[in-house]
Chain A
């Protein structure tokens, strides 16, 4: 079976840092993806991790621990436009499709 867990909702203040956690149990592992989805729009790609460690891309960073089945997305210097749903997705066995968590809705307030 496959299971991906992430918190349903989070709130944060503009200018601060927020960490969104994701734990997973999947058959096989070929990478973990984070997507951002604004209300009424399509998911868009943020980051990809396949090896343990931290990947940094501007204000966004993503961390992976394969032994723990754990990842987090770190958003720095939060802006109002970061209010969105953040989806954790795992690519299990080779040649298969991304399996998504239910997403974490982040609300950024001033």
Chain B
């Protein structure tokens, strides 16, 4: 398996524009997580899915953020409209059902909103 695949790797957009980040988890993994990483706040959980169903979205900053998982092999994180404070590295990760298995991270999307 190629691991967790995220696209794009880098995104530069203007304030007010819509941004869509994409993620393909490892095949057979039941959990998918979206994290955001900044210098100030570290790695923060935004939302996670179990078997394509959103379980906890309490980390989503505000209504401008939305996430979907239409099937087991694809998820999106959308920001509309984007703001400069959304600039960060966004990571997608996936893991298997068992609690003691580690989460595998994608390479991340570095988002810059100008």
Contact = CB atoms under 8 A, between A and B. Distances in A.
Interface of A: 30-31, 33, 41-45, 48, 50, 87, 91, 94-103
A44 B4 CA distance: 12
A97 B100 contact: no
A101 B44 CA distance: 9
Interface residues of B, number: 22
Interface of B: 31, 33, 35, 41-45, 48, 50, 55-56, 91, 99-100, 102-108
A102 B107 CA distance: 18
Contacts of A96: 55-56
A103 B102 contact: no
Given A48-B100, A97-B33, A98-B45, A42 B91 contact: yes
